[in-house]
A and B are shown apart, each in its own frame.
Chain A
């Protein structure tokens, strides 16, 4: 019983260590580490573009403009 458990644990170690290395290799290979500027903008789209705030208290207006790049609330 003990031996089986230890073999399983060792296999887990190799598997999860291996997948982490494989993920790193895959990321480098598929260009995930290139064009980082574009990557940071991948959470925005034309409907919610850079410069659009998406959260605010209902009863409190944002009294000062957002700086640097932020233009308007989504209306």
Chain B
């Protein structure tokens, strides 16, 4: 097997094992800090999500307090899950992946601990600011200036750390996941600061704000969440199965075509708006060109798992990650199609778009982050997950929950969109069409909430060391008396 190794043959497996354990351990404090705050904000964001969803069914629910009205709870939900949960979960994963892929222990953890503090203070101030009525009516950038400045500091520190880690990496090949991570770490602080400057600190005028808003909003997904999610999938799927990526050539092509096309996509949110036609058209073309990175990634992930789909039965990491990878394909294909003006006419301003957002940020990104956490945390803290049963409950609750949410919002959104386009149907009647679907959406929200509570319990028990001591860094719970038998081909 030494022929497959990127290392000189003088390094023995024992040394490699010890080195890897050392690298994993060096990431412990920052990774656990980011993961723990992510899980905390996931629960907070879920509460806001439930409140906002219930208000769709019962508009007067809890409306006697200004800070719990829909106009504040809904952005509080978006920002708590996007900046509180998804981004720190991605950062924790990125830190560990960077250390492993650079094959060097994590350096300068003070930078990261500082970033984690800035981050949590920023999110706390932001959420409180939104609830207090300080929020801005700019989707994805509702945080007031004092909060977004904190987040920028955190992003900046992490970017600097990423460059330092890359600088001190072991010589050799730069794996595709590293490209994705570096791209996300470097591009995002720039994206975030530019959008904040142009919209909040030194606002540009009029309609151009809409263009900046969606340039940012779409790129937050495309140049931050997507690269980190794909970096995790490109590492975890081959690593769990012990099988290299099906076509490495396609994975590289996928990365560079994503870098080329994704940043143009945002303007497809403005179809039909008061913007120059070329601006929107260029974006629609780029959105359709996204088929190239998406299809290359889909082929790769599918073909790497093909023949081993039964592995989803025993690997929690793989189950969550493959679910996420499949939903990446779905969400991206759907996104490209939604950018086509004839379809956009129906889906724009309906719950269909909300379903699409959850397919992307939850079914794709969040599920991959769960998978990554299941793989990374035991290796980082040296303790196993306490219960496989909790993991199963977690998976089925959130998988059924998000599946149901996307389906009902999609169907309800199409009906809503067709009703909105029909001149014989009043606006109020078009809202009536959505009622049963919004009720079902709340039911799916309850399932997701239950799943998140199960996960938070599992996570807390792991940190309290309720699981088994991890005696070897490669297998999931070998010391429970049921060590899997060696397999033969």
Chain A: residues with CB nearer than 8 A to chain B? 1-2, 5, 8-9, 12, 16, 19-20, 23-24, 27, 32-33, 35-75
Contact = CB atoms under 8 A, between A and B. Distances in A.
Given A66-B241, A73-B484, A46 B173 contact: no
Given A41-B244, A55-B375, A58-B480, 6 more contacts: A2-B202, A48-B242, A51-B242, A55-B317, A57-B476, A74-B474
Contact of B487 (A27, A49, A66): A66
B194 A66 contact: no
B252 A46 contact: no
Contacts of B16: 45-48
B239 A43 contact: yes
Given A16-B190, A58-B384, A72-B486, A46 B13 contact: yes
Contact of A70 (B186, B251, B308): B308
A58 B388 CA distance: 7
Contacts of B190: 12, 16
Contacts of A65: 487-489
Nearest to B6: A42
B123 interface: no
A47 B20 contact: yes
B313 interface: yes
A71 B487 contact: yes
A54 B239 contact: yes
Contact of B242 (A52, A58, A61): A52
B244 A73 contact: no
B421 interface: no
Contacts of B4: 41, 44, 49-50
A40 B248 contact: yes
Interface residues of B, number: 78
A26 B205 CA distance: 39
A69 B487 CA distance: 12
Contacts of B6: 38, 41-42, 45
**Top 7 A-B pairs, shortest CB-CB distance:** A58-B477, A40-B248, A49-B1, A40-B244, A47-B13, A47-B16, A74-B474
Nearest to B485: A61
B477 to A, nearest CB: 3
B94 to A, nearest CB: 15
Interface in B1-29: 1-2, 4-7, 11-14, 16-17, 20
Interface string B176-218: 1100001100110010011001100110000000000000000
Main secondary structure of the interface of A (DSSP, over half): loop
7 contacts: A5-B197, A27-B174, A46-B7, A52-B242, A58-B476, A61-B484, A66-B311
B140 interface: no
A47 B476 contact: no
Contacts of A43: 101, 175, 177, 235, 238-239
A42 B238 CA distance: 11
Contact of A46 (B12, B175, B485): B12
A41 B242 CA distance: 10
A39 B20 CA distance: 19
B484 A50 contact: no
B325 interface: no
A2 B483 CA distance: 66
Contacts of B17: 47
A55 B472 CA distance: 12
A66 B445 CA distance: 36
B240 interface: yes
Nearest to A35: B173
Given A50-B1, A67-B307, A57 B480 contact: no
B186 A61 contact: no
Contacts of A74: 472, 474-475
B230 interface: no
A56 B13 CA distance: 21
Given A57-B476, A71-B487, A64 B310 contact: yes
A42 B235 CA distance: 10
